[in-house]
Amino acid sequence: MTTWETQGLDALQMGHIRHYDNLSRQLPNDWSLMKGRGVGQDDFGGYRFQLAYMAYALALVHRHRLPAAPAVFQPIMKRLIDKLLLPEVWMYWHNVSRGGSVFNAHLARNYKEEWDPVGRDNIMYSAYVQSLTLLYHYLFDDPVYEQEGSLTFRFWSYFWGGEAKEFKYDQKSLNDHLYWMMVKSGYIGVACEPNCVFQICNQPAILGFRMHDLVYGGSIAEEVTREYEAAWKEFGRIGENGHYHIMLAEDTRVPRANAAAYPWVDAWLGTLMNMWNREFVRENYPRQVRDYLIGSADGLLSVRSTPRPSIKGETVVNDDCDFGWVAAWASEMGDEETLSGLLRYADRYLSPNWRDGGLYYPRNDVEGDEFGSRLLVEPQTGNVLLGYSRLNVADGLWKLYNEPWSKERFKQPAFREAADDIDVSVAFYDAADRTLHLAMGRSRDRKGTGRVGLGPVPSEARWALGCDGVEVALGRGNEILSSAFDTLSASDGMIRFDCAGGPSRSFRLALL
């Protein structure tokens, strides 16, 4: 039997959700708290990654912890996806598409400036747009990104660039496009930068293919993972040191080993690949993670990072997010001991901060203190991944991928309308008892009316609304038979009322 205790969120978890919500509400091109050390949005801490993994975290907590609270998550995810389409997020591509890095300099003459951010390569962006829009449709039964041109990438400047650049897609056409690029590659995957096929960045596309299958039917994900696995057997996923290969060069077909043992490589890939290649990931996890953890006598854990090399006399400056990715990895693996040690370390040394009701760990570029304690916090770690880790459950992505959610949920009563100032810590529907359970209150950090809506309620069904164990209203469909709430109304199968201020209160809506 599902209980309040197993379903409820604690204050820290609710704080992370509020921080994601706060960031999603910032005005267009206000990237406060989100700018990392790198320049140009072409590194691992870019806006696209922060937006995507906030949305993934919300999907996981909705699916596994607050399944009957779509009103909490749908608006935030929609705002995050819409931000993902802003030019500031993807304009790095018109430079990166030309090549010229240490991995493709010899091929740079073959590449021209490309403005379409999903046209070729750049799976490190296109897969997030594809997977998030399909995930949104799957979770909320909302086909908004199914409409032609709903995914439009557009840029125009008064000062430079000539005519507007505009590229129109939708979730179906983008999914088809990525699928055929995957097929054209021989299923080894689509490149990020030209010539560079990263294992990590092809995993979100696989999640997108699975969401496409769950929404529309078919078996694209099964085909792609089967052929992808077969293609990579030629190279092997893991190097001689036991760590995952970083990428494969398209021209030479030679993998680049993680010889320096960068934690982010194993952790990021392991977190994502667990959704479809679980046994393999779990077989390698214990040995891999041991190479990265630094323990202390009181059980706190930190992460050893590998210094970035000097290339052509230049020091590479970007956000690897080692600490955050190892925490996310531990959460997906269900490694509670490691996750607890990392989060307790973060709470002691990484300066957790509350802002407008949201919890995050602010950016800090200082590597460590005089005692050797790690202090480095990148925005992707502090804004996103530590919250993701605290909100996730063991095998969170695996369950999302492999245990389809029944469409019956769209017919069941749920928390479907919420004013901006509502916080929810419990939301689940007990089908056996035909009862919706909620715990919610009004936030002091956000303006709003406190109005909420529960439903749908079948037109002829008798129902009872309880608050803190006391029955406060009875009704039949849209008819209210009795009510102790002055603000309660019923129409269109929805029961609406104003949530009072003060501490969180428990509610139950039972179909009699």
- Supply the pLDDT for residue 5: 39
pTM above 0.85, yes or no: yes
- Residue 484 near residue 473 (C-beta atoms within 8 A): yes
With cut-offs at 50, 70 and 90, classify the pLDDT of residue 37: very high
The answer for residues whose C-beta is within 8 angstroms of residue 419's C-beta and 6 or more apart is: 448, 449, 450, 451, 452, 499
Name the residue among 179, 180, 148, 149 with its Cα closest to residue 167: 149
Residues 317, 368: Cα–Cα separation, whole Å = 17
Number of structural domains the chain divides into: 2
Whether residue 12 is contained in a domain is answered as: no
Residues 415, 418: Cα–Cα separation, whole Å = 8
Residues 85, 40: Cα–Cα separation, whole Å = 16
Summarised one tens digit per residue, pLDDT across range 103-130 is: 888 888 888 899 999 999 999 999 999 9
The mean-pLDDT minimum among 63-72, 311-320, 347-356, 455-464 falls in: 311-320
Q: Which domain range does residue 127 map to? A: 85-259
Phi, psi of 429 (to 5 degrees): -110, 125
Domain boundary residue among 259, 280, 296? 259
Summarised one tens digit per residue, pLDDT across range 125-169 is: 999 999 999 999 999 999 999 999 999 999 999 999 889 999 999
> 268 vs 310, which has greater pLDDT?
268
Tell me the two tokens of residue 449.
Answer: 């009316």
- Residue 117 near residue 125 (C-beta atoms within 8 A): yes
Phi, psi of 312 (to 5 degrees): 55, 35
> 493 vs 310, which has greater pLDDT?
493
- Supply the pLDDT for residue 61: 98
Domain boundary residue among 259, 287, 313? 259
Q: Which residues lie across from 302 on neighbouring strands?
A: 294
Q: For 293, how many CA atoms within 13 A lie in the half-sphere containing its CB?
A: 25
Summarised one tens digit per residue, pLDDT across range 418-428 is: 999 999 999 99
Residues 360, 382: Cα–Cα separation, whole Å = 6
Whether residue 264 is contained in a domain is answered as: no
Looking at the chain, the number of H-run helices and the number of E-run strands are 17, 21
Whether residue 96 is contained in a domain is answered as: yes
Whether residue 472 is contained in a domain is answered as: yes
Domain boundary residue among 238, 259, 280? 259
Average pLDDT over residues 69-87: 98
Whether residue 166 is contained in a domain is answered as: yes
pLDDT at 6 over 60: no
Burial 24-47 (b: 16+ CB within 10 A, else e): beeeeeebebbebebeebbbbbbb
Q: Which residues lie across from 358 on neighbouring strands?
A: 355
With cut-offs at 50, 70 and 90, classify the pLDDT of residue 7: low
Whether residue 321 is contained in a domain is answered as: no
